[in-house]
């Protein structure tokens, strides 16, 4: 479990594509003592450490992880957001983030603003419109953000959402370096997602859908 507050960044130092479709990913160490079996989030994806030294840390990515996230398209030297798991008793500064990415979203625009840094606009992935509301939480590349505005399509369904990136977020994460057309890992608010699914199931059971 994570909070969406990025503690470090790292860079990709090795990408080894396996014959069975898996991917062995190696990133530069970032000053934390990690052991085999530990979990961390890279760009919002919860991964398990399979090997680590003082210089680098490695992970194995399944085909499912590659299909659902941006990690299949990583490049050598690419900067990634890092978050260590939440400890019981820690303050919850962001929001509850599982590290289980729902889908990828496409960056539509990123514009500089004098007031707070940048406005970032991304598409709403298919099937996730129900959780998209102004002031709701969303995780993009693992970063906990508040939805500032929502733009609907002709049918009134959320098509894009915009978030505000303050200078501190730009400094600590890789979001300010995004460009239109790039993809980001998208995880909708966990509590909102479960509430929506529960309501839909109850409506279906009682014949309201």
Using one digit for the tens of pLDDT, what is the confidence trace for 12-63?
999 999 888 899 999 999 988 899 999 999 999 999 999 999 899 999 999 9
8 is written with which tokens? 């470090």
Give the model's pLDDT for residue 204: 60
- Paired strand residues for 106: 183
- CATH class, 103-200 region: mainly beta
Split at pLDDT 50, 70, 90, the class of 192 is: low
103-200 and 8-83 share a CATH fold = yes
What's the whole-model pTM score? 0.90
| Domain limits, the chain | 8-83, 103-200
Alpha helices in 153-189 (DSSP H): 167-172
Q: What tokens were used for 160?
A: 């894009």
Question: CATH 2.40.30.20: does it fit domain 8-83?
Answer: yes
Provide the pLDDT for residue 207: 61
Contacts (Cβ under 8 Å, ≥6 apart) of 205: none
How far is the C-alpha of 122 from the C-alpha of 105, rounded, in Å? 6
What contacts 2, CB < 8 A, 6 or more positions away? 41, 46, 83, 85, 86, 96, 97, 98, 99, 142
Mean pLDDT for the chain overall: 90
pLDDT in tens, 151-186: 998 888 889 999 999 999 999 999 999 999 999 999
């Amino acid at each position: 479990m994570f909070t969406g507050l990025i503690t470090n960044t790292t860079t990709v130092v090795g990408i080894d594509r396996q014959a069975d479709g898996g991917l062995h990913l190696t990133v530069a160490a970032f000053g934390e003592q990690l052991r085999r079996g530990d979990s961390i989030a890279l760009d919002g994806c919860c991964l398990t450490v399979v090997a680590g030294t003082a210089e680098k840390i490695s992970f194995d990515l399944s085909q499912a992880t590659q299909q659902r996230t941006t990690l299949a398209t990583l490049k050598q030297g690419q900067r990634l957001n890092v978050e260590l798991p939440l400890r019981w008793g820690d303050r919850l500064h962001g929001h509850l983030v599982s590290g289980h990415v729902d889908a990828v979203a496409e960056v539509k625009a990123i514009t500089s603003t004098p007031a707070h840094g940048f406005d970032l606009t991304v598409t709403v992935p298919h099937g996730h419109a129900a959780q998209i509301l102004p002031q709701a939480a969303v995780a993009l590349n693992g970063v906990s953000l508040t939805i500032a505005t929502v733009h609907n399509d002709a049918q009134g369904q959320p098509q894009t959402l915009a978030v505000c990136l303050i200078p501190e977020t730009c400094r600590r994460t890789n979001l300010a370096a995004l460009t239109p057309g790039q993809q980001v890992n998208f995880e909708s608010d966990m509590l909102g997602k479960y509430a929506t699914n529960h309501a839909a199931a109850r409506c279906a059971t009682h014949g309201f859908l």
